[in-house]
Amino acid sequence: QWDRDVIPALVHPYMAYICLSQQGQSCTDPPPIKCSCNCHGVLKQVTAVYMDHLEYIKLQICPCAPAPLQLVQRGLFPCSPVYPALAVSL
């Protein structure tokens, strides 16, 4: 699933994250992704691992706003392709 679905979908969000961070802009709290499928999604807590601390992030996950996409936009890489419980700072 990583090769076929997740990694290809994260290339452009990762490049956007790199571009913003090189411009000195904060990427830790990006604007929320607008849900286009009109579902209620699933609320998921993810532990973010940084070099000097841990942080707990709540994500509203749905098919049009998957967890890996939301995490990469925050500068984190998910440790699972669908419902990650842990993400590591890029």
d(CA 55, CA 89): 11
Closest CA to 19 of 9, 30, 8: 30
Is the predicted pLDDT of residue 40 greater than 90, yes or no?
no
Q: pLDDT > 90: what percent of the chain?
A: 42
- 0.85 surpassed by pTM: no
pLDDT of 41 reads 81
d(CA 11, CA 6): 9
pLDDT of 29 reads 61
Q: pLDDT > 70: what percent of the chain?
A: 87
